[in-house]
Amino acid sequence: MAVRGLSFYYIVYTLVLVFAGMLSEVSSYVRPPPRKNIFVSLSEDRDSTSPQQVHISVIGEDKMRISWITDDPAPATVNYGTSPGVYPNSATGPTSSYKYVLYKSGEIHNVIIGPLQPNTVYYYRCSSNSSPEFTFKTPPAQFPIKFAVVGDLGQTDWTKSTLDHISKSNYDLLLLPGDLSYADVIQNLWDSFGRLVEPLASQRPWMVTQGNHEVEKIPIIHSTPFTAYNSRWRMPFEESGSTSNLYYSFNVAGVHVIMLASYADFDPDSDQYKWLQSDLGKVDRSRTPWVVVLIHAPWYNSNKAHQGESESTGMKSSMEDLLYRARVDIIFAGHVHAYERFTRVYNNKADNCAPMYINIGDGGNREGLASKYQNPKPDISIVREASFGHGQLEMMNATHALWTWHRNDDDVAVAADSIWLTSLSSNTACKV
Q: DSSP per residue over 259-304, as a string?
A: E--TTS--STTSHHHHHHHHHHHH--TTT--EEEEE-SS-SS--BS
Nearest to 303 by CA among 388, 390, 214, 369: 369
User: d(Cα 362, Cα 297) in Å, to the nearest integer?
Assistant: 13
Which 8-state DSSP code applies to residue 395?
E
User: d(Cα 34, Cα 366) in Å, to the nearest integer?
Assistant: 5
In sequence order, the β-bridge partners of residue 421 are 401
Q: 351 Cβ partners below 8 Å, 6+ apart?
A: 324, 344, 345
The CA-based angle 76-117-251, given to 5 degrees, is: 85
User: d(Cα 328, Cα 305) in Å, to the nearest integer?
Assistant: 26
The CA-based angle 102-108-112, given to 5 degrees, is: 160
Selecting among 165, 306, 335, 337, the annotated active-site residue is 306
Per-residue burial over 283-294, b = 16 or more CB atoms within 10 Å of its CB, e = otherwise: bebeebbbbbbb
Q: Is there a catalytic annotation at residue 306?
A: yes
Distance of CA 289 to the CA centre of its chain: 22
The CA-based angle 267-251-97, given to 5 degrees, is: 70
User: d(Cα 403, Cα 146) in Å, to the nearest integer?
Assistant: 10
Check whether the bond before 376 is cis (ω within 30° of 0).
Answer: yes
Q: 384 Cβ partners below 8 Å, 6+ apart?
A: 302, 303, 338, 339, 340, 341, 373, 377
Measured in residues, the chain has a length of 432
Question: Residues 7, 14: contact at Cβ < 8 Å?
Answer: no
Other CB atoms within 10 A of residue 376 CB:
8
User: d(Cα 267, Cα 259) in Å, to the nearest integer?
Assistant: 16
Active site residues per annotation: 306
